[in-house]
Amino acid sequence: MSTASASAPAPSSLRERKKRRTRQLLVDTSLELFTERGFGNVTLDELCDSVEVSKRTFFRYFTSKEDVAMAPTQDLWLTFIDVLETADLGPADRPVLLLIQDTLLTALDRTTTDGWSHRVLLSRNLAERTPSMDAHGLHFCDRTTRAALATLHRRLDIPDPADLRPRLAVDMVVAAFHCALATWASATGTATGTATNTTPSPGSLSAHTRHAFTALAAAPTFPVTPRQDTSPRP
Rounded to an integer, what distance in angstroms lies between the CA atom of residue 136 and that of residue 133? Answer: 5
Contact criterion met (CB below 8 Å) for 62 and 71:
yes
Residue 222, SS3? coil
Q: In this structure, are 39 and 85 located in the same domain?
A: no
Q: Please check whether residues 195 and 158 belong to one and the same domain.
A: yes
Q: Are residues 74 and 59 located together in one domain of the fold?
A: no
Residue type, position 225, single letter? T
Residue 206 shares a structural domain with residue 134: yes
The per-residue pLDDT for range 153-190, each reduced to its tens digit, is: 999 999 999 999 999 999 999 999 999 999 998 876 54
| 173 vs 179: CA distance, rounded Å | 10
Residue 233 confidence (pLDDT): 64
Summarised one tens digit per residue, pLDDT across range 82-135 is 999 999 998 988 999 999 999 999 999 988 777 898 999 999 999 999 999 999
Residue 230 in domain: no
Amino acid (one-letter) located at 234: P
Supply the range of the domain harboring residue 202: 70-218
- In a shared domain, residues 80 and 55: no
Task: For the full predicted model, state whether its pTM sits above 0.75.
Answer: yes
d(CA 197, CA 186): 11
- Residue 10, pLDDT > 70, answer no
Residue 220 burial (CB count, 10 A) = 6
The Cα–Cα gap between 166 and 180 comes to: 21
Q: How many domains does the chain have?
A: 2
DSSP state of 69: H
| CATH number where 31 lies | 1.10.10.60
205 within some domain? yes
Q: Quick one: 82 and 198 in the same domain?
A: yes
For residue 53, give the 3-state DSSP assignment.
coil
| Residue 214 resides in a domain | yes
Q: Are residues 93 and 21 in the same domain?
A: no
Q: 48, 63, 78 — which closes off a domain? A: 63
pLDDT for the residue 68? 97
User: Residue 201 has what pLDDT?
Assistant: 73
Are 188 and 100 members of one domain? Answer: yes
Residue type, 149: L
Same domain, 117 and 140: yes
Whether the pLDDT of residue 194 is over 50: the answer is: no
Are 48 and 105 in the same domain? no
Q: What is the mean pLDDT of the chain?
A: 88
- What pLDDT was estimated at residue 40? 94
Contact criterion met (CB below 8 Å) for 141 and 147: no
Same domain, residue pair 74 and 52: no
Question: Are residues 47 and 120 located together in one domain of the fold?
Answer: no
Least confident of 54-58, 188-192, 206-210: 188-192
CA angle in degrees (0–180, nearest 5) for 105-110-217: 5
**Positions of E strands within 87-233:** none
* pLDDT score, position 3: 39
Task: Report the b/e string of 74-105 with b at 16+ CB within 10 A.
Answer: bbbbbbbbebbeebeeeeeeeebbebbbbbbb
CA dist., res. 140 & res. 48, Å (int):
23
- pLDDT, position 111: 85
Q: pLDDT value at position 230?
A: 67
Give the three-class secondary structure for 24.
Answer: helix
pLDDT digit string (tens) for 19-53?
Answer: 999 999 999 999 999 999 999 999 999 999 999 99
3-state DSSP call for residue 174?
helix
- Is 181 inside a domain boundary? yes
